[in-house]
Amino acid sequence: MAWFPVLLVAAPLLLAGTFVAQTVFGLARNYASARTIGVPIRFIPISPLNPFWTLVDRAVLSFIRRLPGPLGRNSFTRYNWRGWEVADRYRSHQEMGDIWVLVTPFKNWIYLNDPDALNSLFRRGNDFPRPVFVTGVCCWLENVLELTQDFPFAAILDVFGPNISTAEGQAWKTQRKMAMHSFNEQNNEIVWSESLTLATDMQKYWTSMPSIDTAASDLRTLSLHVLSRAGFGKSFKFESQEDRKTQRPSANSAANYKDSLQTIMENCVLILGLGTSFIAQPWLPKKLRDVHAAYVSFRAYMTSLYEEEKAAYAVGETGEPNLMRSMVRASQADAKDGGGLTEAEIYGNMFVFNFAGHDTTAHSFTFAMYFLAANPEVQEWLHEEIHRVFGDVPVEDWDYRANFPRLKRCLSVLYETIRLYVPVPTIKWTADKAQPLVVGGRTLVLPASSMIAPSYGSVQTDPRFWGPNSLNWDPSRFIVKSAEDGDEELRVPVRGSFHGWSDGARDCPGRKFSHVEFVATMAVLFRSNWRVKPAPKYPDESPEAARSRVLDLIENDSGSVLLLQMLHPERAPLVWEKR
């Protein structure tokens, strides 16, 4: 047994040695490749795709930043953490130009800030595919653990998962076409009316409370319920956190859908790490078993909806359109000539819709709500428009087709919020071939296997495209008066300088869906005589102080969990009061 202590010392040393050697080797290899591009280069020692690092990056770096001089301020502390892009805004590109490379031990990351180059990046989807191996937080896990593609969690593997999303090439084209059938104006009408109803109830609840610290979760409830109706034809009433506490857990699978989806999303990383069969083990802690139960229940719910829909289709029943229904119909019709979606693909896509359409919307809504609370004059500005459009018409009679297009200011609030806080960063790569790309008039050759990160945080705030106040939140920048009739129009940003819903063949199919949901919600909230403001933190806090406190919370306490979000919105409760 004499070797045992030796092993105890040697094993960690060996591991550490291997890690260091791999790092040095990777950096040298990638540096050689980066140099061929001929643009500025920075180094970081740890791959941003390393999940263990992403768990501790902020904590470790905040410690290292305290070191004196260059020890505390260097590329490592500046670039080696998740979310630096948003904090950095356009500064790095201002220092280094519209393209530069971050060399890491695993891949090179090419940062791009040139609108024309970004346009061709999105347009040339075949040259610059989405790296299917990158799955946001989960990418590295997937590579390392070679996770199985077990339904529906293959979905999460891709941030926007299968199948519309994981699939590349022909398979993807078919699926995308099918899925796009479902995002149509009929569906948007449902999004509209469901959002109006839910927002009305949400406002009733908000205005009945002395102050609310649950804005984020209430907005999340709203977005989930809209999705449930427009996606599956299942309508749920708005319910507050209070309501939920007092309710008995329902045995009904439709009501459980919401809760199970929520549980799945909150525990996505865990499910991925452990696998769905593992978390079924009866000896595991209750939390894990609950996660598994959620998975089973969500899956059962999908199956029952699908079977219901197929049966209805078989007997020729028609009803209100929803995403599931359109997809089943399209696939059954196409199945006759062999090109339909398989059952698994439909489940995969429904999960993607849920996954892609829920938190994105909820987080953007939360940012917007806090920006509005800090900017009472913008609330007035919205009120003016909403009043102009609806006069005294009651909410029940608000017509989607006639009114939605006129609520430009309401929509500008979403654009402005997403300009500053893009919830979903798209990443592309060069795959197995080097690709030429024109950047600032120069044709550069981007080596194979390079990651390409459109610099959203930068191009969407660059003063060249957005003016000197580009870092301020000011929705009116998106509004112009039309030359013809003086009506207000949504300003089209400088081409290539805004990519909030991505672009090209793989852009967000839910873009309009999210517009409609947001505009309807704003119209309800700010039509009334209620206004929202931050609750004072101490009795005589001035409105100015409260306002900067909220702006500080937005700017300095946001970060990437799965998506970019406010980390602690509950720290600034909001108050609704009559004007």
CB of 289 to ligand HEM, least distance (A): 30
Residue 275's identity, in one-letter code, is G
**Least CB distance to ligand HEM at residue 427 (A):** 7
By the 10 Å C-beta count (0-12 exposed, 13-18 middle, 19+ buried), 48 is classed as: buried
Q: Which stretch binds ligand NAG (CB under 6 A): 52-60, 397-405, 534-542, 546-554?
A: 546-554
| Closest to ligand NAG by CB, 192 or 473 | 473
Query: What DSSP letter does each residue of 356-417 carry, written as one string?
Result: HHHHHHHHHHHHHHHHHHH-HHHHHHHHHHHHHHHTT--GGG--HHHHGGG-HHHHHHHHHH
Cα separation of 489 and 577, whole Å? 31
Q: Is 345 in the site for ligand NAG (CB under 6 A)?
A: yes
From the DSSP assignment, how many helices (H) and strands (E) are in the chain? 24, 13
Instruction: State yes or no: residue 354 binds ligand NAG (CB under 6 A).
Output: no
Q: Write out 288-316 in H/E/C secondary structure.
A: HHHHHHHHHHHHHHHHHHHHHHHHHHHCC
Which residues are 103's β-sheet partners? 43, 108
Instruction: List strand residue ranges (DSSP E) for 447-498, in order.
Output: 451-454, 479-481, 488-490
Could you tell me the smallest distance in angstroms from the CB atom of residue 384 to ligand NAG?
Answer: 27
Query: What mask of x and - would describe binding to ligand HEM in positions 512 to 551, judged by CB under 6 A?
Result: -xx-------------------------------------
For residue 166, the partner it binds in ligand HEM, ligand NAG, none, with Cβ less than 5 to 8 A by kind, is ligand NAG
Instruction: Spell out, one character per residue from 482 to 501, where the chain touches ligand HEM: x when CB under 6 A holds, - when not.
Output: ------------------xx
Q: Smaller CB distance to ligand HEM: residue 39 or 167? A: 167
Question: By C-beta, is 272 or 352 nearer to ligand HEM?
Answer: 352
Min dist. Cβ of residue 358 to ligand HEM (A) = 7
Query: Judged by CB under 6 A, does residue 155 bind ligand HEM?
Result: no
Site string for ligand NAG, 148-177 (x = CB under 6 A): ---xx-x-------xx--xx---x------
In sequence order, which residues have a C-beta less than 8 Å from that of residue 412 and are 6 or more positions away?
A: 475, 476, 477, 478, 479, 490
User: How far, in Å, CA of 344 to CA of 295, rounded?
Assistant: 15
- Tracing tokens 């398979």 back to the chain, one arrives at 171
| 487 near ligand NAG, judged by CB under 6 A | no
State the number of binding residues for ligand NAG (CB under 6 A). Answer: 16
Candidates 353, 381, 429, 478; binder of ligand HEM (CB under 6 A) is 353
Nearer to ligand NAG, 354 or 403 (CB): 354
* Minimum CB distance to ligand HEM smaller for 164 or for 522: 164
* Non-local CB neighbours of 20 within 8 Å, separated by 6+ positions: none
Q: Which stretch binds ligand HEM (CB under 6 A): 36-44, 115-123, 200-208, 357-365?
A: 357-365
Q: How many residues bind ligand HEM (CB under 6 A)?
A: 26
Q: Is residue 403 involved in binding ligand HEM (CB under 6 A)?
A: no
Determine, following the binding rule CB under 6 A, whether residue 410 of this chain makes contact with ligand HEM: no
Rounded CA-CA distance 9/4 in Å is 9
The residue among 42 and 107 lying less far from ligand HEM, judged by its C-beta, is: 107
Give whole-number Cα distances, 180 to 306, 351, 556, in Å. Answer: 18, 15, 38
How far apart, in whole angstroms, are the C-alpha atoms of residue 61 and residue 91? 20
Give, rounded to a whole angstrom, the gap between the first and last alpha carbons of the chain. 80
Q: Does 344 bind ligand NAG (CB under 6 A)?
A: yes
Contacts of 350 (CB under 8 A, 6+ apart): 231, 232, 302, 323, 324, 327
Distance CA(115)–CA(315), nearest Å, equals 51
| Rounded least distance, CB 512 to ligand HEM, Å | 9
Q: Name the binding residues.
A: 508
Residues of this chain that interact with ligand HEM (CB under 6 A) are: 130, 160, 164-165, 176, 227, 352-353, 356-357, 360-361, 364, 418, 423-424, 426, 500-502, 506, 508-510, 513-514
Residues of this chain that interact with ligand NAG (CB under 6 A) are: 151-152, 154, 162-163, 166-167, 171, 344-345, 348, 548, 551-552, 555-556
